[in-house]
Chain A
Amino acid sequence: MSLPLIEVKNLTKVYHSGLFKREVKVAVHDVSFTLHTGETLGLIGESGSGKTTIGRLVLRLIDPTSGRISYKGRDITHVSRKEMRPLRRDMQIIFQDPESSLNPKMRIYQIIEEPLLLYTELSPKERDEKIRSMVSYIGLTEEYLGRYPYQLSGGQNQRIVLARILILEPEFLVADEPTASLDVSVQAQIIEILKRWKQEHTLSILFISHDEDLVKTLCDRVIQIHDGRIQDLQDRNTS
């Protein structure tokens, strides 16, 4: 295979806390992995094992203590925030709790439109078309566009979050327990959207979850994290 999309080498994150920063907590310890284009990599572990920290490190939302992260062969470990900005379009993240990722004062239409305003130069008409087709893609009707997040259920809100991400057609997505606060039938809807999208587009996903069964249905490979270290890397043949 050609160049990996994401390559992480010896990534470590240490937090200092307490009086004179004497308490040391190693959240991520010497983690290395690669993610190829179009691949879905599962990251499983208990709560507090450092899964989320890894996800955020890879996206440079927090700075690593040591180690190297490269995106399409380019070292992004020490790239400045300003230089990161154009890359953000292709690297997205979806969080566990949809309610706190959506602006409560914006209507659904504005929420999905915002990334288009920030990253594209489409005309209002083109934006409108894109938004409407995206909403039907995630299985909601256009009447939802005029509503606010509080008027939608958790599963519907999570689908809106997904719409806001997918409308930019990113190349890499960190999914940080996107279905942990949802129930099984709603979870299945989210997973189905992701699976369908992956069939039609090239998208690599780092899927963080504590649910082994869920990871098995979606991922090509699985990494097990324990206490900030990689415990087990297993290949899985996709069926």
Chain B
Amino acid sequence: MLQVSNLKTSFRTPEGIVKAVDSIDISLRKREKVGLIGETGCGKTVFGMSVVRLLPHNTSISGKVSYKGKDLMTVPESHMQNIRGSEISFILQNPSVSLNPLMRVGGQIEEAVRKGKNLSAQESRKETLRLLKEVNFQDPEYIMNRYPHELSGGMKQRVMIAIGIASEPDLIIADEPTKALDKGNKKEILSLLSDTAERSSMIMITHDLAAASELCDRILVMYDGEIVEDGPCDEILSDPLHPYTIAFIKAHPKNGCKAIPGSSPSLIDLPSGCRFHPRCPDACAKCRTNHPDLSSGHSHHRKNRCHCH
């Protein structure tokens, strides 16, 4: 359904060219749910934004993103606007910033409901109420007339989901939907996403392994603009291959809260060889000079970008 090949996104900045996304290949089947995992600044969000072409002017994107046979990179902007929201929806991170503070919540959902459809005021209101109910609001009519600042973080996130699923999209890109939510809220949002998005494919961008494991079939681990490991969710969690994945799992408080030494390299001045080698505990001479490829080792449904493992 979605086929991304050799996607490269870079930004021209006064400091140099920032290669945020570097040669990413992803293919997504219908109804498949994929988790994109990595630390801050590794290019997860930029990848999502590249797919729907929501990036500033100083960006250059190359590669191919084909969605149901259409190449999204060459589609004219006017057409792209119809695809965004109605076929591919993007649930942005940080709902407190993404919602319009001067509009009542109901109006913002209605905007999404009406898009591409010729609905009367009454019909769209009805649909909005239905959506609010679907995202577990007991009293949708009350919520409809609230402004975003009157809602809590979890409630705002649910409103964002309602907007995201309003047009019954085929692909949902959810960017950190559980960020900064507490445990109860997190659980609720995740179960909501898995219920409402049953018919859609999903790319979930997150750094929360637990969240990804609950929702996703497959996990892609991203480090410094490239995919370093790709495989089924439970296998990656139980038997990670790439040293970065191993370190990342160990950083979770449940698994010892061990920090990865060093910090991720700047995307302007990438290290030679394997990008993880300055922080890797088992880096060898080959890792310092040769850039490894994403290859499938002993099992064909898993891919790993490492010389040693």
Residues 198-220 of B at the A interface (beta carbon under 8 Å)? 207-209
B260 to chain A: which residues have CB within 8 Å?
Answer: 185, 188-189
- Among B84-92, B103-111, B248-256, B293-301, the stretch that binds chain A is B248-256
Given A48-B152, A153-B41, A189-B259, check contact A184 B252 (CB 8 Å). Answer: yes
Give the interface centre of B181, B209, B253 by most chain A CB atoms within 10 Å. Answer: B253
Q: Is B184 in the interface zone, CB < 8 Å from A?
A: yes
Q: Which of A139, A182, A188 contacts B258 (CB 8 A)?
A: A188
Binary per-residue interface labels of chain B (213-231) against chain A in the complex, 1 for a CB within 8 Å, 0 otherwise: 0000000000000000000
Quick check: B180 and A213 within 8 Å, CB to CB?
Answer: no
Q: Is B153 in the interface zone, CB < 8 Å from A?
A: yes
Closest to A213 in B: B253
The binding surface of chain B is classed by DSSP as: loop
Q: Is A120 in the interface zone, CB < 8 Å from B?
A: no
Q: State the interface size on chain B (CB cutoff 8 A).
A: 28
Closest to A151 in B: B15
The CA of A139 and the CA of B39, in the complex, are separated in Å by 18
Q: Which of B40, B184, B252, B263 contacts A46 (CB 8 A)?
A: B184
Q: State the interface size on chain A (CB cutoff 8 A).
A: 28
Quick check: A186 and B39 within 8 Å, CB to CB?
Answer: yes
List 6 A-B pairs, minimum CB-CB distance, nearest first. Answer: A183-B207, A210-B182, A213-B253, A188-B259, A214-B253, A188-B251
Known pairs A153-B40, A183-B207, A188-B253; list 13 more (Cβ under 8 Å). Answer: A46-B184, A139-B263, A184-B39, A184-B252, A185-B260, A188-B260, A192-B257, A210-B182, A212-B183, A213-B253, A217-B253, A217-B257, A218-B257
Residues of A at under 8 Å CB distance from B? 46-48, 139, 153-156, 180-189, 191-192, 210-214, 216-218
